[in-house]
């Protein structure tokens, strides 16, 4: 579930973590800042020079090149900061500059191999999202150019990746580093470190507490339990199935309203590569987390009930079966039958039929007769909507564990707590045949349910 955490609460969380880190002997960011500040005064002689244009002005290329030199360890961070003229870093402290560039540094042998400007179409999309999420940065956003850094490692075992960053411009078109822009990014980064650290230390209480900070008021007991379940699921997933650590995630988007981290998951007993993208989004004064978890359809939710009686099943012990219009027509009423197709199907010769009953509709692969309303075949799609008042999955509507149209989101999240992270598409698998459940919701309840094959 997307988790929303107020800015003031984030500051409190960061403070709590700071004292925890002090207790275990970890060096704090403040001590690092002091070391950096001390080094500023070691020498007044410039050790790094920025390339200026013929008008002695800084350009995007020279500023970005300086940043790349720091990332690639060709220049000292403090030297680069001192070399940037004050008008190109107004109000940007050495501390914030250091924290920001430290996010981009990589200790695994990666170097920036090239950089290039983002195209206008993608720029417009980012600007639109930023302006909507953070109106206070709207004017700044309109004067921002976005650049992509391509990171490459010497080792063939490591995959290349890219990072998106932004550079601001003043009214004369000169590039500069905005303190507000960078501080917003640093804020997101601090929160991500707390989150990853909680998973790393298997601290389910801290992780659950982070989740429960999303509510403007104290969460209900049900939602608090859901958040605790999410914390336990994530921690057990990493403890039992994943070899790599979430703190080894690398940033791929660095924007005030969005930071995304990519992690190469080394799954136990799996030689293939899998990736996880965890995103922290900031909208106005709140932060939300999207952290995917490999949630699967529960076997019970492959069974369809009508009123209090079992109606049909997507599969029986993993085996797809053929269904017939009798006795379904007697139970559900007279259907309408239309010849159709599935654009995702690889078999053009299959006969697909859309069978629509008053409360449920099916797409079958088989045969049908429109005149006598008969059909037979394997079900490839099951759809439920607002008319499905007596239909449920898993159990009759009156029993615990059932999911159905109109159920509250909190009840649905009790069954599938990570469904928002998966965009409400929950995968399933039956004897190497892929399928999925697609759920549509509004702010309060479930609006539609679909079970469908995935080709």
- Report for 193-197, 239-243, 303-307, 339-343: range of highest mean pLDDT: 303-307
Q: Which residue shows structure tokens 């209480």?
A: 205
* Stretch 51-74: mean pLDDT: 90
Query: Are 258 and 342 in a shared domain?
Result: no
Query: Are 288 and 315 in a shared domain?
Result: no
Give the lowest-confidence range in 13-27, 39-53, 279-293: 13-27
For the cut 60, the answer to whether the pLDDT of residue 342 exceeds it is yes
Query: Are 232 and 326 in a shared domain?
Result: no
Q: In what order do the strands lie in the sheet with 309-313?
A: 309-313, 303-306, 391-393
Decide which of 244, 270, 293 is a domain's last residue. Answer: 293
Helix (H) or strand (E) holding 453, with range, is strand 446-453
| Per-residue pLDDT at 343 | 64
| Per-residue pLDDT at 42 | 38
Query: Are 126 and 257 in a shared domain?
Result: yes
Query: Are 88 and 106 in a shared domain?
Result: yes
| Per-residue pLDDT at 346 | 55
Q: Are 305 and 402 in contact (CB under 8 A)?
A: yes
Instruction: For residue 122, give the 3-state DSSP assignment.
Output: helix
Query: Are 329 and 185 in a shared domain?
Result: no
| Per-residue pLDDT at 45 | 57
Query: Are 76 and 210 in a shared domain?
Result: yes
Query: Are 18 and 51 in a shared domain?
Result: yes
Q: How far apart are CA 86 and CA 421, in angstroms?
A: 42
User: Can you read off the two tokens belonging to residue 191?
Assistant: 């929160």
* Stretch 53-59: mean pLDDT: 85
| β partners of residue 279 | 260, 290
For the cut 70, the answer to whether the pLDDT of residue 24 exceeds it is no
Range of the domain at 117: 1-293
Query: Are 220 and 123 in a shared domain?
Result: yes
* Stretch 188-199: mean pLDDT: 92
For the cut 80, the answer to whether the pLDDT of residue 344 exceeds it is no
Query: Are 248 and 373 in a shared domain?
Result: no
For the cut 60, the answer to whether the pLDDT of residue 27 exceeds it is no
Helix (H) or strand (E) holding 196, with range, is helix 179-200
Confidence of residue 345 (pLDDT cuts 50, 70, 90): low
Query: Are 273 and 347 in a shared domain?
Result: no
Decide which of 293, 310, 337 is a domain's last residue. Answer: 293
b vs e for 180-200, b when ≥16 Cβ sit within 10 Å of the residue's Cβ?
ebbbbbbbbbbbbbbbbbbbe
Decide which of 266, 293, 320 is a domain's last residue. Answer: 293
For the cut 80, the answer to whether the pLDDT of residue 115 exceeds it is yes
Q: Are 352 and 341 in contact (CB under 8 A)?
A: yes
| β partners of residue 388 | none
Query: Are 164 and 55 in a shared domain?
Result: yes
- Report for 78-87, 284-293, 336-345: range of highest mean pLDDT: 78-87
| Per-residue pLDDT at 79 | 95
Q: Are 359 and 389 in contact (CB under 8 A)?
A: yes
Give the lowest-confidence range in 8-12, 130-134, 260-264: 8-12
Instruction: Indicate the pTM of the whole model.
Output: 0.78
Q: Which residue shows structure tokens 């159905």?
A: 404
For the cut 80, the answer to whether the pLDDT of residue 301 exceeds it is yes
Number of structural domains (the chain) is 2
């Amino acid at each position: 579930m997307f988790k929303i955490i107020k800015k003031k609460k984030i500051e409190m969380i960061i403070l709590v973590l700071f004292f925890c880190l002090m207790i275990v002997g970890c060096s704090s960011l403040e001590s690092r800042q002091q070391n950096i500040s001390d080094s500023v005064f070691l020498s007044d002689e410039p050790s790094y020079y920025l390339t200026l244009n013929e008008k002695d002005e800084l350009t995007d290329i020279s500023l970005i090149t300086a940043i790349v030199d720091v990332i690639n360890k060709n220049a000292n961070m403090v030297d680069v900061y001192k070399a940037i003229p004050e008008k190109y870093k107004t109000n940007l402290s050495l501390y914030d500059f250091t924290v920001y560039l430290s996010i981009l540094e990589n200790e695994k042998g990666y170097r920036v191999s090239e950089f290039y400007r983002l195209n206008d179409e993608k720029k417009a999309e980012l600007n639109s999202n930023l302006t909507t999420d953070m109106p206070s940065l709207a004017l700044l956003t309109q004067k921002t150019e976005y650049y992509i850094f391509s990171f490459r490692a010497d080792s063939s075992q490591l995959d290349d990746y890219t990072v998106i960053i932004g550079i601001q411009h003043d009214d004369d078109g000169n590039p500069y580093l905005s303190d507000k822009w960078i501080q917003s990014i640093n804020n997101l980064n601090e929160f991500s470190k707390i989150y990853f650290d909680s998973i790393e230390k298997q601290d389910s209480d801290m992780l659950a507490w982070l989740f429960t900070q999303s509510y403007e008021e104290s969460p209900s007991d049900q939602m608090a339990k859901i958040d605790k379940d999410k914390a336990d699921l994530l921690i057990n997933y990493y403890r039992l199935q994943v070899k790599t650590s979430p703190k080894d995630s690398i940033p791929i988007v660095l924007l005030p309203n969005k930071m995304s981290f990519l992690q190469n998951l080394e799954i136990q007993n799996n030689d293939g590569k899998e990736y996880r993208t965890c995103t922290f989004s900031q909208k106005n004064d709140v932060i939300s987390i999207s952290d995917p978890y490999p949630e699967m359809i529960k076997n019970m939710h492959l069974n369809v009930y009508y009123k209090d009686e079992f109606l049909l099943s997507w599969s029986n012990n993993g085996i797809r079966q053929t269904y017939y219009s009798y006795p379904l027509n007697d139970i559900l009423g007279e259907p309408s039958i239309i010849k159709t197709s599935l654009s995702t199907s690889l078999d053009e010769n299959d006969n697909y039929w859309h069978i629509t009953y008053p409360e449920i509709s099916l797409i079958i692969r088989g045969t049908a007769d429109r005149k006598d309303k008969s059909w037979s075949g394997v079900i490839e799609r099951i759809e439920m909507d607002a008319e499905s008042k007596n239909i449920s999955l898993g159990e009759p509507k009156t029993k615990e564990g059932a999911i159905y149209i109109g159920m509250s989101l909190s009840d649905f999240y009790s069954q599938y707590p990570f469904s928002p992270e998966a965009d409400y598409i929950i995968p399933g698998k039956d004897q190497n045949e892929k399928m999925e459940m697609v759920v549509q919701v509004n702010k309060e309840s479930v609006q539609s349910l679909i079970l469908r094959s995935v080709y």
